[in-house]
Structure 1
Amino acid sequence: MSDFFAIIILIMLSALFAMSEIAIAASRKIKLKILMDEGKSKAEAVLALQEKPGAFFAMIQISLNAIAILGGILGEQALTATITEYVHSVYTGPWAEQIGFVLSFLLITSVFILFADLLPKRIAMIIPEAVAMRVVGIMNAVTFAFTPMVAFFNGVTNVVIRMLGLPAERQDNVTAEEIVAMVDAGAESGSLQAQEYHLIGNVFELETRTLPTAMTTRESIVYFDINDDSDTITAKIMQDPHNHFLVCDGALDKLVGYVESKQILKQLLRGNRVQLNEEILEKELFYLPETLTLSEALNAFRHATSQFAVVVNEYALVVGIITVKDLMTSFMGDLAPHSWEEQIVARDANSWLVDGSTPIVDLCRVLELEDIPDPSQYETVAGFLIYRLKRLPKRADFIVYAGFKFEAIDIEGVRVEQLLVSRVESSQLSENNLEIKS
């Protein structure tokens, strides 16, 4: 009877060590840090153990092997004789004792596999952090008790690892790809709402999208000339009301400053005609290069007093303006009104009218396209068409890519004003989905 009790104790100990091994190894560092910030001190102990796991794993292997050996010895003593008696009741031949031994071996092995290995490891994989925090104190105490043996085996292991040229400790550098994979998994499982999923995706887009994908382009900028009369200025404000207007001297690339619309309103309320004089003209402009990413631009605005910036290219020519609101709209995604809602107009379920200056990433979001070829070569839908055609398009020129037809329908000079994007039936696609040109 004492042997059976000892076997149960060994199974419980083996289950504890097996569960601890899996739980500590599978615990997510990010989740543990969150628990630690919430005041869970045991989460910090688990993190410390993960940083230097050598002694812990040495102790686990010593314990599991010792328990397995003891379990085999006690199992043979406790079960073989009893099972052999049952075998003799149905078979009295010369193989009775061997059969009894094999059956007792299979029985004790099955019990250990089920209750000391599979079941505890499954539990540890399901809730690794919770299990790890419960057992970390016990595991540290056992590791300390086994210090001489642990130090020996751990030392030998470290020597072998160094000989193999491997790092002695685990490197937990979380990459952007891993975070994206976790977010995708959360969205698939339903733990992340659609808005949260898109918001996190937009955060990563800030690192890849450049200013031209979010700015107001040069041809859309409303500005004043320093010599404009009052009627011209008020007409522009009434047609395109904005908070700030650039002021130039003859050409947009010769900026002299900017003026706030409220300063113009004050002049009008006093009954005066509008004058772009030194009193209302702000000469300190904030410039950003067009090569900056949206993330870099946000960081630049943190150290600037202006709420908008003039975007220039490498030749110091003005290519657009960008505001903090533009950047925040790009970041907020579905939680804020999209600037491309007026640039992408759905004609029906399978076709869209698209402004040529629409950022290609915005169109890809609408069409649910994940990949586009060589995205660093262009920023807009018009740029995508030109890049694929390898020439300036003419009206009715088109390409087919990923099941969509991109057709230029409005050309002004060399500028692609508008495209028609339509879904193409598979029977109309060229072989291997190659682009089609007019």
Structure 2
Amino acid sequence: MSTSFVGEGFAILLLILLNGFFALAEMSLVTSRKPRLEAEAARGNRGAAVALRLLETPDSLFSTVQIGITLIGILTGAFGGASVAAHLTHVLADMPAVAPYAASLAFGVVIIVTTYLTLIFGELVPKKMAFASPERFACAVAPVMLVFMRLSMPAVWLLSLSSRAASTILRIREDGPSVTDEDIRGMLAEGVRSGVVLDAERTMSERVMRLGDRSVTSIMTHRTRVAWLDSEAPQEDIIERLAASTYSRFPVCDGDLDNVLGVIKAREYLAACAEGADVTLKNFMRQPVFIPETARALDLLEAFRTTPHVHFAMVVGEYGEVQGIVTLNDVLEAIVGDIPSPDEADEPEAVRRADGSWLLDGMMHIDDMADVTGLRLPDEKHGDFETLAGLLLQHLGKLPAIGDTLRLGPLHFEIVDMDGRRIDRVLLSTAATVKDEYAPGTDTAAQKSATDAAPSKGGSNPAA
């Protein structure tokens, strides 16, 4: 075996490793998280600073990588196809059994071996290394890539210009968000699978992200369930009502809930009465926060932040009528889940039964139902409602009654309790736990219309 043959083989191996360097550089820079690189750069890591510079011009970066890989491919083909294959042909020609096919066989062997080594050491292994620790390798290769980019600047400029022109012709947009809600949720889910993030932490993080989408009506206590005080009521009646209740704050109204005068703290008023002072409700009233029903939960948080002594808001409709009340505790429950008060301790929002079905509060928010049960509505079944009761009212298309059922995909809903005309409790089952036909005693014509009903405004009244 000649020295030139060994040298050419070594040159091919070197080119393959160089190809691996470019693959490593591309993968590590593309998959690096920008905040981590910025943190490294702030600590004085020059490689991280250079990596951030390269990522600011992705067209130039990709062009540089492609130029390097293309040149390596050409040189590898030249050495492998011309030189190494020629030497191997002479070796095989001395073997009588394969001598007639020496040239073809040598060429095939060189292609197979070169392709195999390129795939393993020039692509797969480097990319696996980069994917395992992208920021570390990005900091290491960035200075070298910057030098190569400058050396090949004319070719890089031409390719970048051509790439941008082609993108313009094909109308490829580059102004999309670099990180979406789905990306964050995916990272949280991956964190749970790897044990870095607790499942409870993921749930709360996702609920915080939804605050910007949830309306205040989805977390408020509806006006039909609001306990309020009449400003003209006798003091004895007021004291008796406050003492019997576990609520800490009460709206004070003039005749009805739409005429709100203020909000009092029950403890302050009762303490003053116990001291024998001559007090009236007006002495203890604070102005509540008034917020429109179209506002989002994040808007409410901002309103509470600017009025730190009154964490109590009146939700107002488009005609000025009070739709309900919402407190800071309601916002907290939207993040951490239901926090039962003494009044609610015996009747939680969701109870899992032995057969796998769920007994749910009709005022439960649809998102909370999905979080607690793990069962989500089919995408096409979402509409203009926010609570479980609103879902049933929209799809049933009639006044609900005990025993009414609704099937949406694999989910089966049955109304099991009513509070007057309000849906109080709903039984949620899946296709695996119920029969395929509607429950006895239910109007099947109404059942059919339930899946075809046009969207209509549904109520929303989670317990506060």
For residues 195-217 of structure 1, the C-alpha deviation after alignment (integer angstroms, 9 at most, x for no partner) is 12201221232133222322222
The letter for the 1-side match of 2:388 is V
Is 1:53 matched up with 2:58? yes
Output the CA distance in 2 between the equivalents of 1:424 and 1:17: 53
**CA shift for structure 1 position 274:** 5.0
For residues 39-61 of structure 1, the C-alpha deviation after alignment (integer angstroms, 9 at most, x for no partner) is 65533432331221222332322
* Residue 358 of structure 1, aligned match among 337, 358, 364: 364
Q: What is the match of residue 84 of structure 1?
A: 90
Q: What is the match of residue 219 of structure 1?
A: 224
SS, match of residue 294 in structure 2: coil
The range that moved more, 51-60 or 35-44, is: 35-44
* Residue 436 of structure 2, aligned match among 429, 433, 437: 429
State whether residues 230 and 252 of structure 2, in contact with CA within 8 Å, keep that contact through their aligned partners in structure 1.
yes
Output the CA distance in 1 between the equivalents of 2:334 and 2:11: 65
Q: What is the match of residue 113 of structure 2?
A: 107
Q: What is the match of residue 330 of structure 1?
A: 334
Unaligned stretches of 5+ in structure 1? none
Change (3 A) 1:426 1:331: closer
Change (3 A) 1:229 1:153: closer
Matches within 5 A, 1:74-223: 74-75=79-80, 76-78=82-84, 80-82=86-88, 84-91=90-97, 93-166=99-172, 172-223=177-228
Q: What is the match of residue 244 of structure 2?
A: 239
**CA shift for structure 1 position 140:** 0.2
Output the CA distance in 2 between the equivalents of 1:30 and 1:94: 62
Q: What is the match of residue 403 of structure 1?
A: 411
* Residue 287 of structure 1, aligned match among 259, 270, 290: 290
SS, match of residue 267 in structure 1: helix
For residues 239-291 of structure 1, the C-alpha deviation after alignment (integer angstroms, 9 at most, x for no partner) is 11333221112222222222222431342242236532x43333x23111222
For residues 280-339 of structure 1, the C-alpha deviation after alignment (integer angstroms, 9 at most, x for no partner) is 333x23111222221222223223342111112222222221111210221233xx7357
Output the CA distance in 1 between the equivalents of 2:151 and 2:201: 48
Q: How large is the Cα RMSD of the aligned pairs?
A: 3.3
Is 1:313 matched up with 2:317? yes
Is 1:394 matched up with 2:394? no
State whether residues 38 and 49 of structure 2, in contact with CA within 8 Å, keep that contact through their aligned partners in structure 1.
yes
The letter for the 2-side match of 1:394 is A
Q: Provide TM-score, normalisation by structure 1.
A: 0.85
Change (3 A) 1:229 1:42: farther
For residues 67-103 of structure 1, the C-alpha deviation after alignment (integer angstroms, 9 at most, x for no partner) is 2332333344246325532452343744334433443
Matches within 5 A, 1:330-349: 330-333=334-337, 337=339, 342-344=347-349, 346=351, 348-349=353-354
Output the CA distance in 2 between the equivalents of 1:89 and 1:44: 58
* Residue 230 of structure 1, aligned match among 219, 229, 235: 235
The letter for the 2-side match of 1:337 is I
Output the CA distance in 2 between the equivalents of 1:410 and 1:35: 60
Change (3 A) 1:34 1:171: farther
State whether residues 329 and 338 of structure 1, in contact with CA within 8 Å, keep that contact through their aligned partners in structure 2.
no
SS, match of residue 326 in structure 2: strand
Size of the aligned set, in residue pairs, is 430
The letter for the 2-side match of 1:270 is E
Is 1:254 matched up with 2:262? no
Change (3 A) 1:286 1:5: same
Q: What is the match of residue 11 of structure 1?
A: 16
Change (3 A) 1:288 1:154: closer
State whether residues 393 and 400 of structure 2, in contact with CA within 8 Å, keep that contact through their aligned partners in structure 1.
yes
For residues 338-375 of structure 1, the C-alpha deviation after alignment (integer angstroms, 9 at most, x for no partner) is 57873435373345554443334333433322126654
State whether residues 84 and 99 of structure 1, in contact with CA within 8 Å, keep that contact through their aligned partners in structure 2.
no
Output the CA distance in 1 between the equivalents of 2:170 and 2:339: 56
For residues 115-139 of structure 1, the C-alpha deviation after alignment (integer angstroms, 9 at most, x for no partner) is 2233223323333332222101110
The range that moved more, 57-66 or 158-167, is: 158-167
The letter for the 2-side match of 1:380 is T
Output the CA distance in 2 between the equivalents of 1:77 and 1:83: 10
The letter for the 2-side match of 1:112 is T
The range that moved more, 302-311 or 361-370, is: 361-370
Output the CA distance in 1 between the equivalents of 2:348 and 2:317: 24
Output the CA distance in 1 between the equivalents of 2:178 and 2:193: 24
